[in-house]
Structure 1
Amino acid sequence: MSEALQILKKYWKHDSFRSLQNEIIDSVLSGQDTFALMPTGGGKSVCFQIPAMMNEGICLVVSPLVALMKDQVANLQKRNIKAIALTGGIKSDEMIDLLDNCQFGNYKFLYLSPERLQSDWILDRIKNLPINLITIDEAHCVSQWGHDFRPAYLKISNLKTHFPTVPFLALTATATPKVKEDIITELGLEEPQLFEKSFARKNIAYMVFEVEDKLFRIEQILKKNPQSSIIYVRNRKSCIEISSQLQSLGFKATYYHGGLTSREKDKNMQLWMEDKAQVIVATNAFGMGIDKADVKTVIHIQLPENLENYYQEAGRSGRNGEKAFAVLLTNPSDIKQAENQFIHILPDKKFLNEMYNKLCNFFQIAYGEGINERFSFNLNHFCLKYKFPVLKTYNAMQFLDRQGIITLSQEFSEKILLQFIIPSKELIRYMSLNRNDEEIILAILRTYAGIYETQTAFNLELIAKKSKHTEAQVLAVLQKLKEKDIVDYQSKNNDASLIFNEIREDERTISRVSKYLENQNQLKKDQLKSVLHYISEEKVCKSKLILSYFGEKTNTDCGICSYCITKKNKKTDSSSLSKEIISLLKIADLNSREIENKTNKKSDDIIFVLQQLLENERILIKSNNKYTLKL
């Protein structure tokens, strides 16, 4: 038995390697620079963790994701493997202690972000460590054409000058051919060994359905496949609403989003992991490090931002190798909503320049000054003061953060967490007896739909503005409600912190980085176009469309996606179904679900015939989504 396999068995309890893992490990052990493209769930971490364990010294892992670093360090420590992560919020003296541990404490893994490598003193310390392997995780971040470009990744190649004999291992789960070329060039990989695992997931049936009533279709899917499922939604409010609607339909459902406390996240996750809940309704905050093998169905009820994210989220189904379903439910209004969510909130150069100037003014930074100054920062307060849209401002600040102009801690949870803990009828009674508090309470209820179900992050300034009261008046009402046990109310002091990394130069600062902004904005527009092509293309296998996007060609249809099933199934006699539908519409206007129930035909066949009748102008669709005969 090879030493690598012994380590796999001892620490990871697996009897064999997955596809390409052994070959990648051999390449790294031979001292070769290595590039590995392994789709989500392919087991990338083992490819650097095992060779690092086999050699003397420490493995340096560069990663952009704090959550992933913490998760991997925790998993290694559980296996009694010594690992450290230099994440944000660690003070300099603590950092020195951690680096001392790496140098003298026989540690095997040091995780850090690429931005940490830009600090001269940290780089000087790292140069003195016995590095045996340099791993670049999420390597697509080095490419301006990757879906998450980070300029700090461009500096990683400088490590080559300090560690000329140490192999580089670049890992990514999603890279188009252009991005792959960028990774090899920008990281300075020397004659790298290339390993690319196919993006094909032969057991996943990719389904796209245009439906009027998404909840009804979800109900049908979950009844047909009662195994473990994930439903991805766009925001926290939808998480709570869809989960509640599914529970009212008799499904065991829970939810997960970034605004939950750690305790709530763990509780809801365990319900799902232990199959006490069939469904978990989640935002894209859910998925990091999740490896539940028996997920049967992943349903998206809104359009994803790009096919990279969609492929990763859909790929959380069927990891046990059994047939699974990745379902995307759409309707015509989704396109407009996606453009509003993903495109219209992109900052252009003019907005970026204005926001940056106002940010400097906000903290009274003079021209030519400000470098290394740190401030406490409240995003909502800043946006209200200058009447900036919050999402566009946040995206602009994230861009400046990635460019290294500012450093922004990701602590945008509000100062206040609030939940109503009495029945709604009791609250109505309270308001009728306390008219002075009514406007503030109603403003809260109208703004936060899920405030009965969970502790909700609360924007004090927004509620004050909506209720036409001062912040002090709102706080007084909250305190009163807490004392009467009407709400659970917690006040936290966790504004973000903001550091200016450069002197203020206004237009010159922004002009220097604006070309990156234009590239990234164009990339996001192109990515959404690819998503729209994926949902609208009705004459190509869905699996083929995904493979083609990632530069993988195949002449074979998958045989199980929505296109292939439609092609294989003999169409219902559309002529007779058409006559049946017209007969029904002579009696009354009906929506598609009512027609489906009355004809007892498949939904896809109904929609196909309805589209034919619309195109032939024999029927019309009314504003209430009911079909009627054209007079």
Structure 2
Amino acid sequence: MVSKADKVFENHFPSLVEEFEQLKDFQRKVINHVIEEGSSVAVMQTGGGKSLIYWVSAKALGGTTLVISPLIALIDEQAEKLRNLNFEVLVTHSGISSKELREDLTKFCNGNYDPDFIFVSPERLATDGYFEYCIKQRKEDIRLVTVDEIHCVSQWGFNFRPFYKRIPNFLNKVFKDDWPRVLGLTATINPKELRDICQDFRISSSSILKDEILLRFDVNLNVETFAKEDEKEQRLWKLLKENKGKKTLIYLYRKYNKRGTVDLASKARSKGFKSTHFHGDMSSEERQDVIQSIQNDEFNVIFATNAFGMGIDIPDIDLVVHFMIPESVEQYYQEIGRAGRDGKGADAYLFYSNKNVSVRRTHFIDKSFPDEEELVRLWKKITNNNSSIKTLQYFHDQEIQDTLQFFLNANLISIESKAFTHVDIFEKIESDNIQEIVDSTRSGMITAVLNNRDDDIEILMNEIYGAISKGDVSFSKRPGKCLIIKPSKAQLDENDIENISKDIEEKKQYKHDLLDFLVYLLNNFEGTRELHQDIGRYLGVDKHKLNKIHETVRGEWVRSKSEVIIANLLYEHKIEYKYEEKLPYAKGKWIEPDFTFEINGQKYCLEHLGLLGDSEYDDHWTWKKSIYKQFNDINLLTTKESAGV
């Protein structure tokens, strides 16, 4: 029987069907779960087709889907693909003029525009009051909220983005208790962080869906240790020379200075490599130019920080090199997942020394958290040691971005509203109420309005946003967005500092533990297969599935090359089969044939006998044959290992 997911896919994505694309089993499973059960988290392999899951789920549920995505490059890439499929897409990010964005949101707000998808970053979601107002006016039409890279929600993870943590607050404000369905998507997350996410998004443990195969056995893992950095660098140049011509990504954790991205990219060019660099200090336009030039093969060696990560899809990267140890297993595995997305396999090398581990611990983990002195200084910077309401231009100061979360978590600061810094930006005012608001301040600042009037800030801002949506005001210049914050007190006391410091120490220790575990795995490296399996155990992969290390044409993973041949032959002859399907034979007991399929109404089980002659294997096969005799409606077929297989 054709599933709901397949019907929607065929009806709404005919061009993909014409290109012989079809849903994979796991994609189908997640889509059907979202349709039938509701909010879900899908954990799947990098390059496993996350996009198609939320595309099809969105069309199955109808209305508009809100997609929360971390990067402009990823948003633009997804928007272009969807528009090419004839879907209406509203994109909101800093690369779009504020006037154009305001006009699109206004049309949506007033019911004159019905996009299939609206893309937004978590930062805009948390700071753009007009966006929130417009979504609230059309909340009945929002049927699905997709949170891509949802692991960024967890305060424990290496990729934590503070305003991902604010997404549930947005959903509460807009939808109150009646949330739309939420679909979270990620590739690499550990069980602790997964629990964190499910709690934040009201998702039950039964709605956590993990792909059977999360591991990238097609990426060959290599680990090398060094006593000195000079030796490590010499090994890098030798490796690049051995792989000259291959598209190569080298991860560093320093942007500038000696052995930073810029320095090594320059050295590589002097050695004849087509190299470039990539890091977070570059503008979004500069980074996009680099990505495009790599896609166009203008460069094939990229020296990058971990800014080169989520949302960057270059399928033909052949080699990933970590020149310094990552922070955690999750970071390492996500970053090696950049390679081999074209299905042709890839190699990954991790170079590290004891000094690298020490530097990672002291300079990157410890220094990413403020100490007590910095907390006091940053509190003054944010509040001016005054408990009155203030405007906070969050994106203008990296220190504030890194620290505000701790004050919010401690309930020492509350975000009262998302506003404009000034109200003297309005012109052609056709609303008496708005004119009164503007006339209530000489400075034009929103805080002056609030101090001079008794209005509730949320009511006041909704009045302003409502006037904008009705066309009762226009803008003389681009509005400056801000958060209106309210400190709970003027100054921090010893108890406040102690509580925040305790929170910081707990998070810091957790990150140290993550690093220690990665070092343990690397120090005990026995080979690529064993390291993949160790990582799988850590990520919660079912131990029964850790030996599925060979990929078939259909895109599933099986245990042996012989099974690959069988699966590919079945697929080639258009025989719909299942791999290791559970067949119950008694209460709570089942067997798993290698392959099951039907031909002309007859059901067949095919077992590949790979280890005949081994006494334990022979005993198990004798037992299994006795079980098959209990099934009257099954035909048993076998194949055997031979020299030609």
TM-score, reference length from structure 2 = 0.62
| Aligned residue type for 1:530 | F
Corresponding residue for residue 104 of structure 1:
112
Judge conservation of contact 1:64–1:114 (CA < 8 Å) in 2.
yes
Q: Is 1:126 equivalent to 2:135 in the alignment?
A: yes
CA displacement, residues 317-338 of structure 1 (integer Å, 9 cap, x when unaligned):
1112223111101123212221
Change (3 A) 1:25 1:233: same
Judge conservation of contact 1:156–1:187 (CA < 8 Å) in 2.
no
Judge conservation of contact 2:15–2:85 (CA < 8 Å) in 1.
no
Corresponding residue for residue 429 of structure 1:
none
Judge conservation of contact 2:74–2:312 (CA < 8 Å) in 1.
no
Change (3 A) 1:347 1:43: same
Q: Is 1:502 equivalent to 2:489 in the alignment?
A: no
Q: Distance in 2 between matches of 1:549 and 1:45?
A: 26
Q: Distance in 2 between matches of 1:29 and 1:376?
A: 37
Judge conservation of contact 2:223–2:525 (CA < 8 Å) in 1.
no
How do 1:135-174 residues align onto structure 2 when only pairs under 5 Å count? 135-147=146-158, 148=160, 150=162, 151-155=165-169, 158=172, 162=176, 164=178, 166-174=180-188
Q: Distance in 2 between matches of 1:47 and 1:39?
A: 13
Corresponding residue for residue 603 of structure 1:
none
Q: Distance in 2 between matches of 1:188 and 1:44?
A: 21
Q: Once the 2 structures are TM-superposed, how far is the Cα of residue 88 of structure 1 from its aligned partner?
A: 6.5
Corresponding residue for residue 391 of structure 2:
372
Q: Once the 2 structures are TM-superposed, how far is the Cα of residue 195 of structure 1 from its aligned partner?
A: 1.8
Give the match's secondary structure for 2:30: helix
Q: Structure 2 regions of 5+ residues with no counterpart?
A: 1-5, 419-479, 551-645
How do 1:492-571 residues align onto structure 2 when only pairs under 5 Å count? 499=483, 501-503=485-487, 505-507=490-492, 516-538=503-525, 541-554=530-543
Q: Once the 2 structures are TM-superposed, how far is the Cα of residue 314 of structure 1 from its aligned partner?
A: 0.5
Q: Distance in 2 between matches of 1:71 and 1:406?
A: 35
Among candidates 73, 76, 81, match of residue 79 of structure 2 = 73
Q: Once the 2 structures are TM-superposed, how far is the Cα of residue 185 of structure 1 from its aligned partner?
A: 2.9
Among candidates 302, 306, 312, match of residue 328 of structure 2 = 306
Give the match's secondary structure for 1:522: helix
Corresponding residue for residue 3 of structure 1:
8
Judge conservation of contact 2:248–2:300 (CA < 8 Å) in 1.
yes
Give the match's secondary structure for 1:171: strand
Give the match's secondary structure for 1:236: coil
Corresponding residue for residue 368 of structure 2:
346
More moved, 48-57 vs 68-77 = 68-77
| Aligned residue type for 2:278 | Y
Q: Distance in 2 between matches of 1:317 and 1:375?
A: 35
Q: Structure 1 regions of 5+ residues with no counterpart?
A: 380-391, 410-495, 561-631
Q: Distance in 2 between matches of 1:164 and 1:134?
A: 13
Judge conservation of contact 2:280–2:307 (CA < 8 Å) in 1.
yes
Give the match's secondary structure for 1:104: coil
Give the match's secondary structure for 1:29: helix
Corresponding residue for residue 464 of structure 1:
none
Q: Once the 2 structures are TM-superposed, how far is the Cα of residue 517 of structure 1 from its aligned partner?
A: 3.1
Judge conservation of contact 2:45–2:215 (CA < 8 Å) in 1.
no
Corresponding residue for residue 199 of structure 1:
214
Q: Distance in 2 between matches of 1:137 and 1:324?
A: 25
Q: Distance in 1 between matches of 2:127 and 2:303?
A: 39
Identity score, percent: 27
Q: Distance in 2 between matches of 1:559 and 1:126?
A: 45
Corresponding residue for residue 631 of structure 2:
none
Q: Once the 2 structures are TM-superposed, how far is the Cα of residue 267 of structure 1 from its aligned partner?
A: 4.5
Judge conservation of contact 1:35–1:171 (CA < 8 Å) in 2.
yes
Give the match's secondary structure for 1:110: strand
Q: Once the 2 structures are TM-superposed, how far is the Cα of residue 190 of structure 1 from its aligned partner?
A: 5.2
| Aligned residue type for 1:225 | N
Among candidates 19, 31, 34, match of residue 40 of structure 2 = 34
How do 1:161-310 residues align onto structure 2 when only pairs under 5 Å count? 162=176, 164=178, 166-189=180-203, 192-197=206-211, 198-211=213-226, 212=228, 213-226=231-244, 227-237=246-256, 238-260=260-282, 264-310=286-332
Q: Distance in 2 between matches of 1:218 and 1:93?
A: 47
Q: Distance in 1 between matches of 2:233 and 2:242?
A: 14
Q: Once the 2 structures are TM-superposed, how far is the Cα of residue 210 of structure 1 from its aligned partner?
A: 1.1
Corresponding residue for residue 643 of structure 2:
none
Corresponding residue for residue 318 of structure 1:
340
TM-score, reference length from structure 1 = 0.63
Q: Once the 2 structures are TM-superposed, how far is the Cα of residue 133 of structure 1 from its aligned partner?
A: 1.4
Q: Distance in 1 between matches of 2:515 and 2:392?
A: 38
Q: Once the 2 structures are TM-superposed, how far is the Cα of residue 50 of structure 1 from its aligned partner?
A: 2.0
Give the match's secondary structure for 2:302: strand
CA displacement, residues 20-60 of structure 1 (integer Å, 9 cap, x when unaligned):
11221222233522221123222212211222134431012
Judge conservation of contact 1:48–1:135 (CA < 8 Å) in 2.
yes
| Aligned residue type for 2:216 | R
Judge conservation of contact 1:31–1:167 (CA < 8 Å) in 2.
no
| Aligned residue type for 2:194 | K
Corresponding residue for residue 439 of structure 1:
none
Change (3 A) 1:526 1:355: farther
CA displacement, residues 401-448 of structure 1 (integer Å, 9 cap, x when unaligned):
8989599x9xxxxxxxxxxxxxxxxxxxxxxxxxxxxxxxxxxxxxxx
Q: Distance in 2 between matches of 1:399 and 1:71?
A: 34
Give the match's secondary structure for 1:501: strand
Judge conservation of contact 2:149–2:186 (CA < 8 Å) in 1.
yes
Change (3 A) 1:500 1:208: farther
More moved, 95-104 vs 21-30 = 95-104
CA displacement, residues 575-610 of structure 1 (integer Å, 9 cap, x when unaligned):
xxxxxxxxxxxxxxxxxxxxxxxxxxxxxxxxxxxx
Q: Once the 2 structures are TM-superposed, how far is the Cα of residue 366 of structure 1 from its aligned partner?
A: 5.0
Change (3 A) 1:139 1:375: closer
Judge conservation of contact 2:39–2:207 (CA < 8 Å) in 1.
yes
More moved, 82-91 vs 296-305 = 82-91
Q: Once the 2 structures are TM-superposed, how far is the Cα of residue 343 of structure 1 from its aligned partner?
A: 2.4
Q: Distance in 2 between matches of 1:81 and 1:42?
A: 22
CA displacement, residues 268-291 of structure 1 (integer Å, 9 cap, x when unaligned):
434422334331221222234322
More moved, 3-12 vs 311-320 = 3-12
| Aligned residue type for 2:114 | N
Q: Distance in 2 between matches of 1:500 and 1:513?
A: 22
CA displacement, residues 69-91 of structure 1 (integer Å, 9 cap, x when unaligned):
45433543454422224446986
Q: Distance in 2 between matches of 1:204 and 1:231?
A: 15
Q: Distance in 2 between matches of 1:101 and 1:319?
A: 37
Change (3 A) 1:183 1:149: same
Change (3 A) 1:162 1:88: farther
Q: Distance in 1 between matches of 2:122 and 2:291?
A: 31
Q: Once the 2 structures are TM-superposed, how far is the Cα of residue 123 of structure 1 from its aligned partner?
A: 5.0
Q: Distance in 2 between matches of 1:360 and 1:156?
A: 23
How many residues were matched structurally?
458
Q: Distance in 2 between matches of 1:159 and 1:11?
A: 38
Judge conservation of contact 1:133–1:168 (CA < 8 Å) in 2.
yes
Among candidates 18, 24, 28, match of residue 30 of structure 2 = 24
Q: Once the 2 structures are TM-superposed, how far is the Cα of residue 202 of structure 1 from its aligned partner?
A: 1.5
Q: Distance in 1 between matches of 2:288 and 2:327?
A: 27
Q: Once the 2 structures are TM-superposed, how far is the Cα of residue 396 of structure 1 from its aligned partner?
A: 3.1
Judge conservation of contact 1:140–1:174 (CA < 8 Å) in 2.
yes
